[in-house]
Amino acid sequence: MRYNVVPFDEMEVMMSKVNTVLVLMAHPDDAEILCGGTLIRLAQLGWQVHIATAANGDCGSAELGRDEIAAVRHLEAQEAVTKIGGTYHCLGISDVQVAYTPTNICKAIDLLRRVNPTLVITHPRQDYMLDHEQTHLLARAASFAFAIPNASTLPLPESAVVPHLYYADPLEGRDPYSGEVVEPTSLIDISDVMQAKSQMLACHVSQREWLRKHHGMDEYIDAMQRHGAMRGQLCHCDYAEAFVQHRGHAYPQNDLLSRLLESSNLTTKEAIHD
């Protein structure tokens, strides 16, 4: 494990507000699959954890109607995040209808006003389905805009600033257009919390049957663990989660995740040749 020393001035900033992570993903269970281990480790450090979904999961069943399966998935999402003392939010958009619209941008900005995150995690820009890609746009827009006074009618938190922003892996860690494996900027060792991550994902009971019928996947927990093992090979641990940090204008440039969690911030190429 590679240790990173946090400079005093950075530590002072980190301690100046309540440390809060907000994960804004498309559907219930996306956060548990893509970054559940990282959330568990942050919770162990005393961070407040919020998981939000743009969609309500109303297409996540082959038998139940929209309202019924949406209610089931809401309860499953709440149960999962409660395991680590967190809070669940939903923007209430229907599955396969997530879109980058003024109404949905306002919903995302209002969510960030209420949560006031230090750190935001969302989907990558390119992924296997458009709900994920559109949620990426909503999260990116809201993370930049929520601290702008006129961007929302909700009260502006006094400590609101542009948060650290990270993108989780696309499905199977591959760019859906090129097929190439995505090269992460941050690799988080989740070996010690894989069992707890699996327990969080297991709360989404309704999805096993759905994935068996629609995707031909019998065990989504095994698939999640296989992906974690693949990413773990890059930083010489049993399981890891991979992220790409957004370092655009106005966003923090230091790799907060790697510093906090004492993980490797090697790129894929560096890790392979380490």
**What are 13-49's pLDDT values in tens digits?**
444 467 999 999 999 999 999 999 999 999 999 999 9
**What are 66-117's pLDDT values in tens digits?**
999 999 999 999 999 999 999 999 999 999 999 999 999 999 999 999 999 9
pLDDT (0 to 100) of residue 18: 78
With bands split at pLDDT 50, 70 and 90, how would you rate the model's confidence at 220?
confident
Structural domains for the chain: 10-272 (3.40.50.10320)
pLDDT (0 to 100) of residue 221: 87
Residue type, 217: M
Spatial strand order of the sheet with 20-25 comes to: 87-93, 48-55, 20-25, 119-122, 164-168, 240-245, 186-189
Q: 233 with 80: CB under 8 angstroms?
A: no
The 3-class SS string of 125-172 reads CCCCCHHHHHHHHHHHHHHHHCCCHHHCCCCCCCCCCCCEEEEECCHH
CB atoms within 10 A of CB 171: 16
The mean pLDDT value for 201-222 works out to 74
Q: Is the pLDDT of residue 217 over 90?
A: no
At residue 143's C-alpha, the angle toward residues 118 and 72, to 5°, is 85
Looking at the chain, the number of H-run helices and the number of E-run strands are: 10, 7
Q: Is the pLDDT of residue 10 over 70?
A: no
CA torsion 239→82→207→101, rounded to 10°? -100
Distance CA 48, CA 259 (A): 18
In the beta sheet, which residues pair with residue 49?
A: 21
pTM above 0.75, yes or no: yes
